[in-house]
Amino acid sequence: MPTIIEPFRIHSVEPLRMSTAAERREAIVKAGYNLFSLRSEDVLIDLLTDSGTGAMSSEQWACVQRGDEAYAGSPSWYRFEAAVKELFPFAHVIPTHQGRAAEKILMAAIGGPGLVIPSNTHFDTTRANIEATGAEAVDLPIAEGLDPALEHPFKGNMDLGRLDALLSARRDDVPAVFVTITNNSGGGQPVSLENLRGVRALCDRHRVPLFLDACRFAENAWFIRERESGQGGRDVADIVREIAALADGMTMSAKKDGLANIGGWLAVRDDRLAARCRNLLILTEGFPTYGGLAGRDLDAIAQGLKEVVQHDYLRYRIRSTDYLGDGLHAAGIPVMRPSGGHAVYLDARALLPHIPPLQYPGQALAIALYEAGGIRSCEIGTVMFGRHPDGSETAAALDLVRLAIPRRTYTQSHIDYVVEVCTEVAARAGELRGYRIVDEPPALRHFTARFEPLAK
Ligand code: F0G
């Protein structure tokens, strides 16, 4: 049958609180026009993030009951470690409370002033953790990845020519190369196995370790299975193991493809690096058999890792995101093509050409979607990436609005509603105004900045 159904049925429900446009306008003014500052009860369809917002399975809830809260050496830890190593057989697995804690610990161990860490595209927390050590974070996506309308199977790929040039010029300043799978800031686009092998070959030639930011590894592996020649018949778990074998370590947020509400880990091959990271872990996260997590969290993640590589789940997951992307595309709304694994990205710069990047077209569109339909999305553009450590401000490469799909959470009619709201806002795009920032923190400003609409 052509319809790919959800491979689950609903077991417990969370009511949504309906709201009027007038109530939403009041709420967004109070929030300083920052969607992160809204009370989530004032949101109808929350597409702010796919991080930690998914629904756990009945098996995962059973695992929560099984969680063992021993401070050291809990059986929950051993189940977690085994589940991670089943997919990512690195010698050392270090649990953390979420992805950025793994990043902070790793960057504290390998970063520092004068160093440079390249990636296909660093996620904002990764970049901030690199920059916090005084090192430089460099993005080297392929050129196709920067053209939102272009159809390409692996727009998350890294530009191997530019990576080779950087490593040739500054090899001694590069403590690691990172590859983000899928490339979240670049549109949730996958990286091919061929590209990963190419990055590995360059890392070998220049003797630099390769790390994965593997938050959405299962979605990336499904795209490889679907789109890369010769991969079609493979088991996704096998593809994941092949990806892991190409790397020297990984950072992970279990809030994505761990199918859990909290958690993460850092994994490395190198014994000495692992020892340094564990010492840092004990300072801020906790003992190495629980990181910042409860035993019940470790168990929920262990089960999530088994479910996330199931083909029925991934077929549904990728198709349901594409269903939103296709609906918007068919309605003539400019979206990043093809759809990402976890999100669809509206091209705000294309939809709102009358709003210059430094007046934040992505923020303007995100606010309009909230006011019109109670949809919370996330600006990924000049608000998120425009401010630099030296204080200057420039336009980001793209001004996107991300509609991130929580895993196993919303139904097809929720998504049909999202398409309707976006279509209504797009029809009056010319009326939307830009914004200015009235208050911002020194780093990661998108979380807490306050905005004001510009006069017409
Ligand atoms: N790396 C990537 C690619 C991410 O998408 C995220 C989080 C992190 C690292 C950090 O993980 O949140 O567990 O500390 N992304 C979320 C998002 C917040 O909405 O895309 P974390």
Instruction: Report the 10 Å Cβ neighbour count for 410.
Output: 18
Would the CB of 255 count as within 6 Å of ligand 1? yes
- Over residues 118-141, the mean pLDDT reads 95
Fill in the amino acid letter for 133: T
Q: Per-residue pLDDT for 20 more than 80?
A: yes
Measured at the alpha carbon of residue 288, what is the angle toward residues 284 and 293, in degrees to the nearest 5? 70
> Could you tell me the distance, in angstroms and rounded to a whole number, from the CA of residue 120 to the centre of ligand 1?
15
Would the CB of 320 count as within 6 Å of ligand 1? no
- Which atom belonging to ligand 1 lies closest to the Cα atom of 180? 3
Fill in the amino acid letter for 159: D
- Over residues 188-195, the mean pLDDT reads 97
Of 184, 262, 379, best ligand 1 pocket probe by most atoms within 8 Å of the beta carbon: 184
* CA distances in angstroms from 350 to 36, 116, 324, 359, 383, listed in the order given: 24, 32, 19, 14, 17
Would the CB of 213 count as within 6 Å of ligand 1? yes
Would the CB of 184 count as within 6 Å of ligand 1? yes
Label the pairing between strands 378-380 and 400-404.
antiparallel
3-state helix, strand, coil in the chain (%, to 5): 45, 15, 40
Residues 69 and 289: their CA atoms lie apart, in Å, by 11
Of 256, 301, 342, best ligand 1 pocket probe by most atoms within 8 Å of the beta carbon: 256
- Which atom belonging to ligand 1 lies closest to the Cα atom of 49? 19
* CA distances in angstroms from 456 to 207, 363, 430, 433, 452, listed in the order given: 55, 16, 11, 7, 12
Would the CB of 51 count as within 6 Å of ligand 1? yes
Q: Which two tokens stand for residue 114?
A: 């004068």
Q: Determine the pLDDT at residue 124.
A: 87
Q: Determine the pLDDT at residue 26.
A: 98
Instruction: Report the 10 Å Cβ neighbour count for 145.
Output: 27
> Could you tell me the distance, in angstroms and rounded to a whole number, from the CA of residue 302 to the centre of ligand 1?
19
Q: 276 and 109 in contact (C-beta within 8 Å)?
A: yes
> Could you tell me the distance, in angstroms and rounded to a whole number, from the CA of residue 146 to the centre of ligand 1?
20
Residues 412 and 345: their CA atoms lie apart, in Å, by 18
Residue of the CA atom closest to atom 16 of ligand 1: 51
Residue of the CA atom closest to atom 8 of ligand 1: 99
- Which atom belonging to ligand 1 lies closest to the Cα atom of 253? 13
Per residue in 31-82, pLDDT (tens digit) is 999 999 999 999 999 999 999 999 999 999 999 999 999 999 999 999 999 9
Q: Sheet containing 92-96: give its strands across.
A: 92-96, 264-268, 249-253, 210-213, 177-180, 116-119, 136-139
- Over residues 331-348, the mean pLDDT reads 96
Would the CB of 264 count as within 6 Å of ligand 1? yes
Residue 452 in 3-state DSSP? Answer: strand
Nearest to 208 by CA among 248, 244, 265: 248
Residue of the CA atom closest to atom 1 of ligand 1: 123
Residues 408 and 394: their CA atoms lie apart, in Å, by 37
Phi, psi (degrees; rounded to nearest 5) at 211? -115, 145
Q: How confident is the model at residue 176 (pLDDT cuts 50, 70, 90)?
A: very high
Q: 381 and 347 in contact (C-beta within 8 Å)?
A: no
Q: Determine the pLDDT at residue 456.
A: 75
Would the CB of 122 count as within 6 Å of ligand 1? no
Peptide bond between residue 182 and the one before it cis (omega within 30 degrees of 0): yes
User: How far, in whole angstroms, is CA 202 from its chain's centroid?
Assistant: 25
Mean pLDDT of the chain: 97
Percent of the chain with pLDDT over 70: 100
Q: Determine the pLDDT at residue 351.
A: 98
Angle between helices 217-227 and 311-330 (to 10 degrees): 80
Q: Determine the pLDDT at residue 86.
A: 98
Nearest to 182 by CA among 142, 209, 155: 155
Per residue in 266-279, pLDDT (tens digit) is 999 999 999 999 99
Q: Determine the pLDDT at residue 141.
A: 97
Of 47, 100, 182, 384, best ligand 1 pocket probe by most atoms within 8 Å of the beta carbon: 100
Residues of the chain with CATH 3.40.640.10: 58-307
Q: Determine the pLDDT at residue 443.
A: 81
DSSP-H helix ranges across 31-138: 58-66, 75-87, 99-110, 124-132
Of 123, 185, 216, 377, best ligand 1 pocket probe by most atoms within 8 Å of the beta carbon: 123
> Could you tell me the distance, in angstroms and rounded to a whole number, from the CA of residue 225 to the centre of ligand 1?
24
Phi, psi (degrees; rounded to nearest 5) at 344? -115, 135
Would the CB of 126 count as within 6 Å of ligand 1? yes
Percent of the chain with pLDDT over 90: 95
So what's the architecture of 58-307 in CATH? 3-Layer(aba) Sandwich (3.40)
Residue of the CA atom closest to atom 11 of ligand 1: 99
Q: Which of 264-268, 395-399, 452-456 ranks highest by mean pLDDT?
A: 264-268
Burial of 151 (0-12, 13-18, 19+ CB in 10 A): exposed
Q: 99 and 319 in contact (C-beta within 8 Å)?
A: no
> Could you tell me the distance, in angstroms and rounded to a whole number, from the CA of residue 21 to the centre of ligand 1?
30
Whole-prediction pTM value? 0.95
Q: Determine the pLDDT at residue 186.
A: 82
Would the CB of 121 count as within 6 Å of ligand 1? no
Q: 141 and 183 in contact (C-beta within 8 Å)?
A: yes
Q: Determine the pLDDT at residue 389.
A: 83
Looking up tokens 């996704």 gives: 236
Q: How confident is the model at residue 428 (pLDDT cuts 50, 70, 90)?
A: very high
Q: Determine the pLDDT at residue 117.
A: 98
21-50+310-453: what fold? Answer: Aspartate Aminotransferase, domain 1 (3.90.1150)
> Could you tell me the distance, in angstroms and rounded to a whole number, from the CA of residue 51 to the centre of ligand 1?
7
Of 253, 257, 262, 401, best ligand 1 pocket probe by most atoms within 8 Å of the beta carbon: 253
Residues of the chain with CATH 3.90.1150.10: 21-50+310-453
Residue of the CA atom closest to atom 21 of ligand 1: 99
- Over residues 137-144, the mean pLDDT reads 97
- Over residues 279-302, the mean pLDDT reads 97
